[in-house]
Structure 1
Amino acid sequence: MSDRETGLVYLITGGCGFLGRHLLQVLLEKEDKLREIRLFDKHIDPTLREHNTDVQVVVTAGDITDYASVLEVSRGVDVFIHAASLVDVWHRVPEHVINAVNVQGTENVIKACVENGIQYLVYTSSMEVVGPNVKGDSFVRGNEDTPYNVYHTMPYPKSKAKAEKIVLEANGTKVNGGACLHTCSLRPTGIYGEQHQLMKDFYQNGVRTGGWLFQGVPSETEHGRVYAGNVAWMHLLAARALREHPDTVGGEAYFCYDDSPYKSYEDFNMQFLSAFGFREVRVPLIVLWFLAFFNDLMRWILKPVCNYTPLLNRYTLAVACTSFTVCTDKALRHFQYSPLYDWDQCRMRTQKWVDTFPLESKKAT
């Protein structure tokens, strides 16, 4: 029998989302022992079934908070990639909803793995399980063992930290059939690339202000960024390593990294948005702090009548002003990770997509 007939079945929660699309593409291109990919998502895109290989791609609508749905879609799965997550640092989503998706959903995944005898689980975590914190403590060229004052105030990083703890503590759990569950966690820094909604949001802000982008984050601030295709590639390598070297990789957490330059969020995004002729306007940082405070105040005042949740608030400004970069080779040492795409390729692929924004805006109108 061929590898395709005897190959692996992968399940990706959040499979129709930003990272999920990159995971699908990398798996189809780089995983030889592959028979089926299941994409499980609350908001599905049926077109993701369309590809030019003989791998079966199954798109299933479902809610990660519904255990029966998670259990059913994971029957017969070999490798579980749990990428579904509710990301919110703008107070748009109630805390109990974030916890239901990110924490309860992860508990459902673990239970389904145990009941269905699944042995390999890769969890998509976040750098925010560590930081940056709102106290402004920098994390510069840190690694997985670097001490840091972890201090969470928003529901999203709190929920991701809880979920990651659940996943890592589940490593070694007995599953039906007598085998063990092997787990690991990947912590991307700021992901970017094709289909990244936040990049579109920044573009729309520039359009609304007539091409002016107001910036005030200190120029020396730097953040780690990582291309979505390289994050997906690391997931594939981690999944392989869990199967081949579970004693090394199981129970471990890894930062996701590549060759993308360290810059502030503002300067990094402008590398792509400058193509539209947007003009930067530097404003004193104190002005941004006042605007962030004002936005938080208005959100509280307007809460009974509407959901006022702009991108700028005190939390997002604190994060933007706090350096957080990683310098590690743990993934290289443990499972031979090196970026699938170099910086020039990442920049070119992202820019090609960003250049379509004006066309999409015209279609929308």
Structure 2
Amino acid sequence: GMGNARKETFLITGGSGYFGNRLALSLHKKGAKVILFDIIPPSQELPEDVVFVQGDIREYPDVEKAVTGVDCVFHIASYGMSGREQLNRQLIEAVNVQGTQNILKACVEHGVSRLIYTSTFNVVFGGQVIENGDESLPYLPLHLHPDHYSRTKSMADMAVLKANATVLKGRSGLLNTCTLRPAGIYGPGEQRHLPRIVDYIEKGIFRFVYGKPSSLVEFVHVDNLVSAHVLAAEALTPEKQHRAAGQAYFISDGRPVNNFEFFRPLVEGLGYPFPTLRLPISLIYFFAFLTEMIHHLIGPFYNFQPLLTRTEVYKTGVTHYFSMAKAKAELSYEPRDYNLDEVVQWFRSRGHGKKCHRSFLSRLLLNILFVSALVAVSLSFLPVVGS
């Protein structure tokens, strides 16, 4: 544990990202030595004794250099989670699959005894309803993932768990591994999803919701996810009988909520009206499918940001939430309650939000216009499908 005379050394891959940064600060506060490994330098200020190692997870020599002398690795680097990134197949496979193989090999070669992999809900979820699911659920068959990110994260999750109990080279002991499968992350300063949502709100694109009002999904506040990672590292130690070794854990706030209701405080907090229009999820899924087809055709020349991908449609509109019982029992994970107030403040302090509402009538007309355009676009493609 942290009480040892020698400081524990933690390596965080993808350490320059939002979550990596928050995890680094937490470990540093607890008195650990922290090394960040990433292809780009951190954008946030870091304590001066946090070491940054620049390198590419796809290059084994870079990985080897980073893990040397490390006690525990948090492997959170990944690529292809959202938007147009989702459509770059080669890079997604190289980072998520080959990168993870490089980490596993380096851990074994250099005597690293603990590895925690940051996975995702998506390894078991592919658009089917899951209510209070647990870790006994099987992986979604690989060919059923409509996106490369989920498929490659599944492959990495499998590889990490399979590598558990591998004998370490040149020293006694085994590699102890576990995977954490979080919901969507939020928190003040989150850079991946929240700014895109705020952008859609501000551009007036967020004019409708979809799916059933009763559909429930989950989120995880960044600090709950940080605590789960710190606890997982402890649960892989001999002091805790390596109790997490070879195990997977779903991690969320433990509060299933309707996706759109979850974001209501953000929309209204920034001074925008919450959409009253609800469209069928099938229409939105079809629209996302068309967008992906169009991107497939013109993406090589014009890499636009898709409004929504199919994966994003069902991740937001189809019920899937998980029990935290295993994480609570085996990791002593206790999610704290958070809301979006800090997030709203974060955006407001950066000049987002508006003071006045457009009149109800002009808003109604815009909505009608928007929906008829959406329907027209969708219908114009139907003969092609039937032919």
Superposition TM-score, scaled by structure 2 size: 0.82
Matched, 1:161 2:154: yes
Q: Which residue of 1 aligns with 2:173?
A: 179
Answer yes or no: is the 8 Å Cα contact 1:49–1:59 preserved in 2: no
Separation in 2 of the partners of 1:216 and 1:46? 35
SS in 1 for 2:80: coil
Deviation at 1:274, TM superposition (A): 1.6
Please, which of 350, 353, 360 is the counterpart of residue 346 of structure 2?
A: 353
Matched, 1:305 2:301: yes
**Residues 1:304 and 1:42: Cα distance change in structure 2 (over 3 Å):** closer
Answer yes or no: is the 8 Å Cα contact 1:216–1:283 preserved in 2: yes
Answer yes or no: is the 8 Å Cα contact 1:23–1:232 preserved in 2: yes
- Name whichever of 69-78 and 286-295 sits farther off: 286-295
C-alpha distance after superposition, 1:185-222 (max 9, x if no partner): 1000121112322111111111112x853322321111
Matched, 1:28 2:28: yes
Separation in 1 of the partners of 2:35 and 2:267? 34
Deviation at 1:247, TM superposition (A): 4.1
Matched, 1:13 2:13: yes
Matched, 1:223 2:217: yes
Deviation at 1:281, TM superposition (A): 4.2
SS in 1 for 2:166: coil
**How do residues 90-129 of structure 1 correspond to structure 2 at under 5 angstroms?**
90-92=83-85, 93-129=87-123
Which 5+ residue runs of structure 1 have no aligned equivalent?
none
Separation in 2 of the partners of 1:308 and 1:123? 31
Q: Which residue of 2 aligns with 1:39?
A: 36
Letter in 2 for 1:145: S
Q: Which residue of 2 aligns with 1:282?
A: 277
SS in 1 for 2:308: coil
Matched, 1:255 2:250: yes
Separation in 1 of the partners of 2:129 and 2:58? 35
* C-alpha RMSD over aligned residues: 2.4
Superposition TM-score, scaled by structure 1 size: 0.87
Separation in 2 of the partners of 1:347 and 1:281? 21
Letter in 2 for 1:171: N
Q: Which residue of 1 aligns with 2:377?
A: none
SS in 2 for 1:220: coil
Answer yes or no: is the 8 Å Cα contact 1:217–1:266 preserved in 2: no
Separation in 2 of the partners of 1:9 and 1:82? 14
**Residues 1:73 and 1:247: Cα distance change in structure 2 (over 3 Å):** closer
Letter in 2 for 1:39: L
SS in 1 for 2:243: helix
Letter in 1 for 2:122: E
Matched, 1:83 2:83: no
SS in 1 for 2:116: strand
**Residues 1:47 and 1:267: Cα distance change in structure 2 (over 3 Å):** closer
Answer yes or no: is the 8 Å Cα contact 2:55–2:62 preserved in 1: yes
SS in 2 for 1:123: strand
Deviation at 1:89, TM superposition (A): 4.6
Q: Which residue of 2 aligns with 1:332?
A: 328
Answer yes or no: is the 8 Å Cα contact 2:123–2:139 preserved in 1: no
**How do residues 184-263 of structure 1 correspond to structure 2 at under 5 angstroms?**
184-196=178-190, 197-209=192-204, 213-243=207-237, 244-259=239-254, 261-263=255-257
- Name whichever of 351-360 and 97-106 sits farther off: 351-360
Answer yes or no: is the 8 Å Cα contact 2:80–2:148 preserved in 1: no
Matched, 1:142 2:138: no
Answer yes or no: is the 8 Å Cα contact 2:178–2:248 preserved in 1: yes
Identity across the alignment (%)? 29
Letter in 2 for 1:62: G
SS in 1 for 2:268: helix
Separation in 1 of the partners of 2:150 and 2:286? 24
Which 5+ residue runs of structure 2 have no aligned equivalent?
355-387
C-alpha distance after superposition, 1:153-190 (max 9, x if no partner): 21111101110111111111111212111011100012
Separation in 2 of the partners of 1:327 and 1:184? 18
**Residues 1:318 and 1:347: Cα distance change in structure 2 (over 3 Å):** closer
Matched, 1:152 2:150: no
Separation in 1 of the partners of 2:321 and 2:115? 26
Answer yes or no: is the 8 Å Cα contact 2:107–2:175 preserved in 1: yes
